[in-house]
Amino acid sequence: MSLKSIADFLGIEYFPDGAEKLASSLFGGTPTFNKGHVGRWREAFSETHKSAFKKVAGGALIDLGYERSSEW
């Protein structure tokens, strides 16, 4: 279990029920959160959105390793 391993590494006590409660409250419930699926933006972005985003931050996506080229 990853959370237990992290707690062990940090030298803190692990509470399974508390971890589950915390995890369930971390995601969702905000206007900017949309299901939490990787790549979900591809369904929401139109070609106009993609073009505008590429102009503003396309290079950053490549530099940071999120995309390999501007052909996304």
Question: How many C-beta neighbours within 10 Å does residue 26 have?
Answer: 9
For 11-67, write each residue's pLDDT tens digit.
999 888 887 777 777 766 676 676 777 778 888 899 999 999 999 999 999 999 989
CA distance 48 to 45: 8
pLDDT at 26: 72
Do residues 4 and 27 both lie within one domain? yes
pLDDT at 34: 67
Do residues 55 and 71 both lie within one domain? yes
Look up the domain containing 22 and give its range: 1-33
Three-state SS string over the chain comes to CHHHHHHHHHCCCCCHHHHHHHHHHHCCCCCCCCCCCCCCHHHHCCHHHHHHHHHHHHHHHHHCCCCCCCCC
Do residues 27 and 45 both lie within one domain? no
Do residues 55 and 27 both lie within one domain? no
**What total of structural domains would you count in the chain?**
2
Task: Kindly report the pTM of this predicted structure.
Answer: 0.48
